[in-house]
Structure 1
Amino acid sequence: MTAAYWVVAAPLALFYLYAGGLKAVRSRAQLLPMMAWVDSTPMPTVRALGTVELLGAAGLVLPPLTGIAPAAALAAAVGFVLLQIGATGVHLRRGDRRIGLNAALLLAAVVAVPLATTWL
């Protein structure tokens, strides 16, 4: 189970580290070409989402590595499931049917949830 967790959690954490970092530091104009939804979202909300993604990425990786607060890995995985459900809703509400990446991230997070119980 440990190897399976890392196969799923490591790429998921890397994705959210990258995406969260972009949302946390880039301007609206820099984000618009890759994230059309930011045009109608207040920048403090975009920054907050970026921060949540960065913290979630840390939550997937650090607790299993350190043995400190191992339930945080489970909380991070569940949080990413909820995040992607919300993100998919935003895309669909905006009429954007390109939700393949959201579906893949949702699937990876759903798989990570039971695997994250390894450390409980």
Structure 2
Amino acid sequence: MNSALWIAAGLLALVALAGGFTKSFVPKEKLATIHGAEWTAGFRADAIRALGALELLAAAGLVLPRALGTAPVMVPVTATCWIALMVGAMVAHGRLGQYRLVAVNAVYLAVALFIAVGRF
């Protein structure tokens, strides 16, 4: 079980890292042209960067606390926060009719739920 939780946390951290870097460093105008990121057209650039920063923090929070043995309770707390973030993502993609992306976000939510339950 511990190995499965590590793998799930590592994979979800990679997803968070990729999304965080994209939202933090790709200009809003370019993001809005990428499939799946059309929602950014309706948000301010600083709000998008804030979401990117949250995702980068989530990437660290899913792995580092347990790996370093410092405040390992932060892993399930981070996973719970990721669940809230995915609910928001599902709403945003649902409003745009991007139901495949809603399904992808639901998978990320399920992985985060697995981590949260397993680590609490």
TM-score by length of structure 2 reads 0.91
Q: Which residue of 1 aligns with 2:89?
A: 87
State the percentage of identical aligned residues.
35
Q: Which residue of 2 aligns with 1:25?
A: 25
TM-superposed deviation, 1:108? 0.9
1:106-117 → structure 2 map (5 Å cutoff):
106-117=109-120
- Is 1:104 paired with 2:107? yes
Question: Paired residue for 1:50, among 33, 49, 52?
Answer: 52
Q: Which residue of 2 aligns with 1:70?
A: 72
Question: Hey, what's the Cα distance between the residues in 1 that align with 2:91 and 2:29?
Answer: 23
TM-score by length of structure 1 reads 0.91
Question: Hey, what's the Cα distance between the residues in 2 that align with 1:60 and 1:95?
Answer: 30
User: Contact 1:4–1:115 (CA<8 Å) still a contact in 2?
Assistant: no
Q: Which runs of 5+ in 2 are unaligned?
A: none
Q: Which residue of 1 aligns with 2:4?
A: 4
**Secondary structure at 1:39's aligned position in 2?**
helix
* Displacement over 3 Å in runs of 4+: none
**Secondary structure at 1:69's aligned position in 2?**
coil
RMSD between aligned residues:
1.2
Q: Which moved more, 1:71-80 or 1:99-108?
A: 99-108
Structure 2: which amino acid aligns with 1:112? I
Q: Which moved more, 1:108-117 or 1:7-16?
A: 108-117
Question: Hey, what's the Cα distance between the residues in 1 that align with 2:68 and 2:99?
Answer: 40
User: Contact 1:23–1:50 (CA<8 Å) still a contact in 2?
Assistant: yes
Q: Which runs of 5+ in 1 are unaligned?
A: none
